[in-house]
Structures are given as C-alpha cells and as structure tokens.
Structure 1
Amino acid sequence: MSDQIQVSKTVDASPEQMFALLSQPSRHTEFDGAGMLRGVEPGGENVSGTGDEFIMNMNQDALGDYQMKNVVTAYEENRKIGWAPSLHPLDGYKDKVGDAQATGHTYTWELEPAGSGTKVTQTYDWSGVEDEAFRGFFPMLTEDQLSESIDKVANAAK
C-alpha cells in the first residue's frame, strides 16, 4: 500500500483563482471534502510563504473538537501550495491519542495551466509519519474526498 493518495483533474478555473483561495485558510471550510474543518484561528487568514502557520479548528468522531497547527511547506505563487498539519498543542490530546505523535503528513496542491482551466493535483502524503501508533490512523481521507475538495475549490473560484 502506498503512503499517499494523489488526485488530478482539470477544472474550469485559472491557477491564479485557485491559488487565491488555497492561500486563504479562512476559506478552507468552504471546500473541505471530509467535513472536518470548522474554521481558522485569528492570525491565519492569509499564507504568503513557506514557514507560515495557521491553526484550524476541527471536529471528527474519534477526537471531537480539536485543533491542528499547519506549517506551510510548499509555496510557489499560483503554482504550488502545501502544508504539514500536527495536533495543537502536540501533547494536548493524550486522553484520546495516548503518546502518538500526530506529525509527518502533508497536503500539497499543484496547479498547472491547461487551456482555459487548470490541471490540479492534490497529494495527501503520510510517508513522513514516523510514529507507528499514529501511522495506524492513515489514510484518514479518501480519494473521493480529495476529488470533492478540488471540485469545491474550482466552484468557489468561478
């Protein structure tokens, strides 16, 4: 089994339109294909380069309400953006995940002009997860959920 899921499709929106939305974490709830995002904490409204951080409020059955800190790992304006999430605070959920270190996975979006639209490739990669207890949770998302996220961003960009 691969340690990543990658979905590519061509959408009817420009790379600039797609990137403008993806670089605004405050808009991410609009195109969350998994339905876990609840909003961004103040200070995380816009991403402008690698190393930037934003904290998302989340909810899912196993954890209930929780937060993820996302560090921007890829940033090439109008072409590529990605982030690495980790529980926030990292040791704040021991009652639910024990000593598992919830780090090492990434989400990366690549945008390539394709005619009047954009070829979008979204990669959900957990190959960097070193903690075996946390590795057992993957994949947390499906190919269909990633595909739905791409569609939602494209629709919001129109």
Structure 2
Amino acid sequence: MSDQMSVTRTVQATPQQLFALLADPARHQEIDGAGMLRGAEGASSISGVGDEFVMNMHNDALGDYRMKNTITAYEQDRKIGWAPALHPIDGYTDKLGDTRAEGHTYTWKLEPEGGGTRVTQIYDWSGVQDDNFRGFFPMLGEAQLGDSIEKAGAAAAS
C-alpha cells in the first residue's frame, strides 16, 4: 500500500483565487472535507516555506485539540503545502501516550485549465516515523480530499 493519496479535480476558480484562499488559514474551515477544523488561531496570510499557523481541531478520539502547521511548499499561484503536527507535540499524552503525531503533509498543486484550475491535492504520510501514529493512516479518504477541492473551488470563486 502506498503512503500517499492524491485526488485531482477541475474547478471553476482561477489559480490566483485558489492560492489566495489556501494561503489564508482563517479560511481553511471553508474547505474542510473531513469536518474537523474549528478555526485558525491568530492566523495571518502565508508568505513562504517555513511559515506556521495553528489550527483548532476536533475529532471523536481526541475531542478538541490543536495542530501547528508548517509550510513545506510555496510557489505563488501554483503550489502550497503544509505539515501538521500536534501542538504542543507532547500535550495530549493523557489520550495518546508518547505517540508523536507528526510527519504527514497536504500539498495542493494548481494548474490553469480553460477558464478554471486543475487542482491536485496530495495527502502524504510517508514521513510519519512513529509506528503508533502510522497505524492511524490514512485518516482521510479520496472522497474527503475531493470534497475539499470542490469546496475550495466554490469558496475561491465566490
């Protein structure tokens, strides 16, 4: 089994519109295909690799929690990606023990296509080093990734 999944869809928004949406963590809740995002903390626009933002999250297993996302890919209007890690990394030992929840990435590639954009979202967990955490992958399916792309297209175009 592969350690990554990618989904491609064409949406009726420009690469510039999509990139602006993806580079604004405060708007990420609009593109959430999994229903876990609860909003960014003090988010500002992303300007390059190494930038960070913290996202408030919720799921049935952990309840409320936070993820710090570090930008791993940044090409204006073409590509943006981030690597989430539990924040603080050792802040949820009561539920996870010493599991290190880090090592996966989400990358969005944007290619102009007609009047819209061909969007590929790559969900990659090949960098997960903790065997306990690796057992949770994939956490999302192709349908959820596709839903995120569709939501991004609609939100960016509005």
TM-score of the pair, normalised by structure 2: 0.98
The separation in 2 between residues aligned to 1:37 and 1:92, in whole angstroms, is 18
The separation in 2 between residues aligned to 1:85 and 1:31, in whole angstroms, is 16
Runs of 4+ that moved beyond 6 A? none
Query: Deviation at 1:45?
Result: 2.2
**Mapped pair 1:8 → 2:8:** yes
Query: Deviation at 1:31?
Result: 1.0
Q: Provide, for residues 72-109 of structure 1, a one-character-per-residue CA deviation record: whole Å limited to 9, x for no partner.
A: 00000000000000000000001111111111000000
Q: Give the fraction of aligned pairs with identical amino acids, expressed as a percent.
A: 67
- The residue identity in structure 2 corresponding to 1:6 is S
Task: Specify every segment of 5 or more residues in structure 2 that has no aligned partner in the other structure, as ranges.
Answer: none
The separation in 2 between residues aligned to 1:157 and 1:41, in whole angstroms, is 21
TM-score of the pair, normalised by structure 1: 0.98
Alignment of 1:89-128 (within 5 A): 89-128=88-127
Aligned CA RMSD, in angstroms, stands at 0.6
Query: Deviation at 1:10?
Result: 1.0
Task: Specify every segment of 5 or more residues in structure 1 that has no aligned partner in the other structure, as ranges.
Answer: none
**Mapped pair 1:157 → 2:156:** yes
Number of positions where the alignment pairs a residue of Structure 1 with one of Structure 2: 157
Query: Deviation at 1:121?
Result: 0.3
